[in-house]
């Protein structure tokens, strides 16, 4: 028996030997490290290698200095070599390296403590049997990334998430906050209803937008230092989403595009409504997807000039719509982020509602909608008497000014209440809610260093005739576009639709039908997409948002007679990478719980039989868990920055 076991082990060893050799390669699996490539100095050639590579925070790596003679390319064996690692700008503390099995390769175990730009210092003290006086010193710039994969803390959180998935469907509850009416606070009511306050916000935002657009054309065409790209895409684009979660569409009050649209409609006396085929959010969804695609494939966020043209285009479009169609038709139906704002505003803990619907029914004038001598009426075509969700309310308080019965209130409420409490559920919103999950996950994946390699691997499946007839950049763009658009707009909705079909079968004879089930439970996925969106942008804001400071200093010094100090282009993150990671996990877990609560409330509302409700929700809980886990895994990987620090 022992002989058979020995023979089996030998056979397995012989079978695995070629694979092991391929895995380890010539240098034990080490890959080239550092931005300097191969350095030649004093007759010696030094190449920096590492396994694994690239270096990652908290991950032990075997760093190797491969030393050859510059002319003969012979290994420099028997030498004295020291290696050290330190953040850029500080002197590394070197330690003696050991010559490994491969002659001329001197290795040392290093474990980076932080991320960002670092320096690996290689000190050659003796080579070729002679001592070098003074020692040769070579510094290799390297980048230390976040450790790939999930750490113990993240796996613990995942276990808790799985437990919550089983418990929260039946036990989770959200208690509404005390019904404090903000309009009952005299000074706050005066501020919110002051026309000067709103006009001041809109005027300031419009002036800043004009400056940003002008800088996009007039300033240097470097997205990392031009205020147009840095402010628009790194600060506003990443940060405005947080206002949706906290206060709904409050951004729309100051939005320069919406202001121009409304001002133009009033000045022109436009009274027409948009044609009925445009009165939905399909067009806004298409515009948002197109803008996201252009961001990923054409790099618009790195082009100041393209950023300027985008701003000009939407300013002109807002004015053109206002010349023909009444109120804020552009904002309601055509704004590229209008549908996104509406869907995400359903989670906000702030609402404007009628205090008593009966009071509205007995009041014939309807100044809240029609307008009065002191108010313009609702610019977003919302009727407060019937309004039961935040999707299109901008908190402009025009309805408050026009209500002769003082029957409107701005109150705090349960977080995410609109997701299950509203009576209106429509396919275009449901589709957008689901598509946003796929879109946010894929956009996050596209920022991973491994993404280009994945796309190259997929491109190899294209027919040879296609690859030979097109440039690599062309067919790689096609592959990436197919993955982004197909995954977000087709695959993710199909997964949820399949879940709806299964849920309908599980519910039994009292099922809603697959289409109705999809439309109802799609709102359960709003928190999931929102969580990935928020967590993704937390990294941009906290890790590279500080880069706006030197950009502003440069713009002020260049274009005004003032100065705000000397720009420091090294950039300082607003929070350590570890803190950002914890915040991302917390956001994903918290919104996963909200997704379960929404699903539970929706099921209880739609099914009279509690057992049917419990069975029907199972596929959606599993999908929500899968999407959340995908987000956790993706966000634990090193992620590229939009414009660097």
pLDDT band at 20 (very low <50, low <70, confident <90, very high): very low
> First CA to last CA across the chain, in angstroms?
64
Out of 4-8, 16-20, 119-123, the most confident range is 119-123
C-alpha–C-alpha distance, residues 458 and 449, integer Å: 16
For residues 395 and 11, give the distance between their C-alpha atoms in angstroms, rounded to a whole number: 74
- Give the mean pLDDT of 489-509: 96
**Structure confidence at residue 430 (pLDDT):** 97
Closest CA to 478 of 489, 467, 488: 467
Query: What DSSP designation does 175 have?
Result: P
* pLDDT value for 576: 78
- What confidence tier does 166 reach under pLDDT thresholds 50, 70, 90? low
pLDDT of residue 103 exceeding 70: yes
For residue 149, what pLDDT is reported? 60
> 144: helix, coil or strand?
strand
Residue 398 has pLDDT above 80, yes or no: yes
User: Residue 61 above 90 pLDDT?
Assistant: no
Percentages helix, strand, coil for the chain (3-state, rounded to 5) are 55, 15, 30
Q: With 60 as the cut, is the pLDDT of residue 178 above it?
A: no
pLDDT tens for each residue of 148-159:
665 555 555 556
pLDDT at 502: 97
Which residue ranges make up each domain of the chain? Answer: 26-144, 182-420, 422-635
Q: What residues pair up with 377 in beta bridges, in sequence order?
A: none
Buried b (16+ CB within 10 A) or exposed e, 403-437: beeebbbbbbbbbbbbbbbeeeeeeebbbbbbbbb
Mean pLDDT, residues 568-593: 84
Q: Is 44 helix (H, G, I), strand (E, B) or coil?
A: strand
Name the DSSP letter for residue 560. S
The answer, yes or no, to whether residue 291 has pLDDT greater than 70, is: yes
Q: Six-digit token pair at 113?
A: 């403590």
Q: Please check the confidence at residue 2 and state whether its pLDDT lies above 50.
A: no
What is d(CA 502, CA 493) in angstroms, rounded to the nearest whole number? Answer: 14
| Cα 567 from Cα 556, distance rounded (Å) | 11
- Mean of pLDDT values over 622-626: 97
Beta strands at 116-127 and 80-87: parallel, antiparallel or unpaired: antiparallel
Any residues with CB less than 8 A from the CB of 582 and at least 6 apart, and which? 153
pLDDT-based confidence at residue 43 (cuts at 50, 70, 90): confident
Task: Tell me if residue 563 falls in helix, strand or coil.
Answer: coil
Name the band, by pLDDT with cuts 50, 70 and 90, for residue 24: very low
Token digits for 187? 């000074």
- Return the CATH number of the domain spanning residue range 26-144: 2.60.40.2480
Per-residue pLDDT of 347-374, as tens digits, reads 999 999 999 888 988 888 889 999 998 8
Contact 367, 379 (CB under 8 A): no
Least confident of 5-19, 40-54, 87-101: 5-19
């Amino acid at each position: 028996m022992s002989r058979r076991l020995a023979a089996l082990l030998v056979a397995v060893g012989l079978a695995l030997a070629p694979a092991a050799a391929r895995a380890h390669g010539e240098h034990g699996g080490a890959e080239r490290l550092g931005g300097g490539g191969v350095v030649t100095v004093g007759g010696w050639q030094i190449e920096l290698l590492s396994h694994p590579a690239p270096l990652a925070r908290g991950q032990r790596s075997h760093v190797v200095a491969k030393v050859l003679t510059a002319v003969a390319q012979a290994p420099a064996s028997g030498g004295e070599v020291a290696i050290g690692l330190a953040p850029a700008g500080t002197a590394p503390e070197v330690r003696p390296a050991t010559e490994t099995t491969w002659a001329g390769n001197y290795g040392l175990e290093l474990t980076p403590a932080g991320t960002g730009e670092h320096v690996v210092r290689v000190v050659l003290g003796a080579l070729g049997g002679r001592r070098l006086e003074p020692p040769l010193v070579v510094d290799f710039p390297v980048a230390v990334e976040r450790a790939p994969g999930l750490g113990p803390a993240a796996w613990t959180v995942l276990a808790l998430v799985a437990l919550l998935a089983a418990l929260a469907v039946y036990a989770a509850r959200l208690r509404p906050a005390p019904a404090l009416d903000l309009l009952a606070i005299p000074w706050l009511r005066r501020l919110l209803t002051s026309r000067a306050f709103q006009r001041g916000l809109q005027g300031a935002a419009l002036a800043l937008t004009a400056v940003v657009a002008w800088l996009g054309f007039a300033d240097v065409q470097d997205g990392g230092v031009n205020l147009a790209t840095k402010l628009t895409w790194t600060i506003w684009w990443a940060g405005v989403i947080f206002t949706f979660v906290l206060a709904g569409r409050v951004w729309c009050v100051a939005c320069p595009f919406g202001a121009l649209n409304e001002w133009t409609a009033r000045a022109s006396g436009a009274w027409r409504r948009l044609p009925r085929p445009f009165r939905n959010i399909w067009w806004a969804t298409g515009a948002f997807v197109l803008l996201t695609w252009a961001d990923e494939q054409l790099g618009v966020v790195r082009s100041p000039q393209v950023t300027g043209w985008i701003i000009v285009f939407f300013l002109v479009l807002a004015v053109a719509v206002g010349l023909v169609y009444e109120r804020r038709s552009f904002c309601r139906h055509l704004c590229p982020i209008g549908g996104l704002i509406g869907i995400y505003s359903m989670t906000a803990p702030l609402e404007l509602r009628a205090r008593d619907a009966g009071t509205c029914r007995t009041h014939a004038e309807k100044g809240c909608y029609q307008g009065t001598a002191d108010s313009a009426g609702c610019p977003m075509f919302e009727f407060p008497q019937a309004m039961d969700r935040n999707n299109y309310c901008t908190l402009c308080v025009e309805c408050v000014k026009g209500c002769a019965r003082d029957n409107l209130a701005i109150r705090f409420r349960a977080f995410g209440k609109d997701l299950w409490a509203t009576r209106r559920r429509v396919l275009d919103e449901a589709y957008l809610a689901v598509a946003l999950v796929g879109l946010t996950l894929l956009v996050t994946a596209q920022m991973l260093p491994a993404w280009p390699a994945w796309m190259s691997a997929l491109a190899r499946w294209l027919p040879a005739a296609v690859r030979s007839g097109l440039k690599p950049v062309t067919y790689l763009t096609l592959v990436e576009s197919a993955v982004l658009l197909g995954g977000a707009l087709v695959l993710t909705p199909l997964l949820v639709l399949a879940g709806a079909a299964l849920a309908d079968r599980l519910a039994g004879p009292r099922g809603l039908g697959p289409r109705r089930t999809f439309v109802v439970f799609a709102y359960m996925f709003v928190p999931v997409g929102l969580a990935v969106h928020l967590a993704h942008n937390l990294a941009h804001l906290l890790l590279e948002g500080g880069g706006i400071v030197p950009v502003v200093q440069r713009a002020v010094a260049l274009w005004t007679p003032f100065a705000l100090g000397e720009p420091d282009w090294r950039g300082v993150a607003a929070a350590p990478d570890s803190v950002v990671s914890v915040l991302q996990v917390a956001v994903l877990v918290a919104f996963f719980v909200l997704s379960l609560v929404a699903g539970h409330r929706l099921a209880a509302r739609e099914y009279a039989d509690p057992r049917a409700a419990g069975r029907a929700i199972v596929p959606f809980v599993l999908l929500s868990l899968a999407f959340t886990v995908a987000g956790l895994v993706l966000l634990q990987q090193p992620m590229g920055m939009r414009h660097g620090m």
